[in-house]
Structure 1
């Protein structure tokens, strides 16, 4: 049984049912202490959703007065007109549930309906359906607008990429002699270490020859600019020569 049903009773006074209908059960003691009569509720009360609670109470009494909702005393159906102004007036759980399903089908409060009942019998009014349809149409229009914007941005992006490629091709980046020497020294130093040994004879890496290192680089990064066997061998040769001349 769903936990909301633990708040259910066999019968209710109208104000008790209205409080549960509005989801204000935790405020029940405060509300009952603040009202003088269950038929004459104060127009305002320091309680959330109080206006809803008053409306639901009025609806219950309206159903009673119009013969739609059976009533009685202490859960016994009597339909005695003298009870209409009595604080002991009650409505049975089963009668209240049947009346609400018939007259307010969009409302399925947890104290009357189980979670399964609320999920199995959803109710959507015509107004709600129209609002959902309009919202869906608005979302479709917004989605279509966003798609057009994305296509325009993709076109602009491709155009910028082409412009960038043209600029790079027409204006090659020149490197200074000092910078080239620095890079060659770094490459030459790393290459010497990778192919060298420690003073105790332990290799610094698993590569024993420059050819093995070149083959590994081509195998892993062969699609990258400059990573070809010919270019690497040429650069490595210049790098080692540059490092040797710097040392001597």
Structure 2
């Protein structure tokens, strides 16, 4: 049995700023950050300018607390009184942070919250399905690249009907997984609706060809119809 080791920066409860410091991988600079903070709350302008990721993570924490997604309190005791959100005595418990981050930021595994073994999640059946679908996408990409070398209008890239159906099936299957849940009721992702998927895609990839609300709605609807015709 592996002997548990105390991870750097781990505590029973933290202030939001302490959490943001650790989340931003700034533990070695914690002293400097706390010195700059002085008596203001939760941060200061010079902190925002020098460590923008720190400010972003503080905002994420307070957004979660304001929307009742993350429990909070005083001196490690859960209170969840909105007036506490402006108090310098505001604290977040270690166990509550783990639960919240696993749900809302599943790809984030800061060392003060998660063991090294948890940084690489076990491959589940659903994840294996996703990887298989992504492999198919890569194979189709190779097929399209090869076919595009044939004599044709250099500005036109034609996809065979077989390739188009394959793309639609893959997109539809990915959507089904992202918006679905296991037999025990555990959701496969943090997305609850198609609207949330589209909003996230636009937020992260706006400006890329095809990443518009109109096109995404059309393609996703077509993908779902295509998948249903073969079920």
Q: TM-score, normalised by structure 2?
A: 0.50
Q: Larger C-alpha radius of gyration, 1 or 2?
A: 1
Q: TM-score, normalised by structure 1?
A: 0.46
Q: Higher helix share goes to which structure?
A: 1
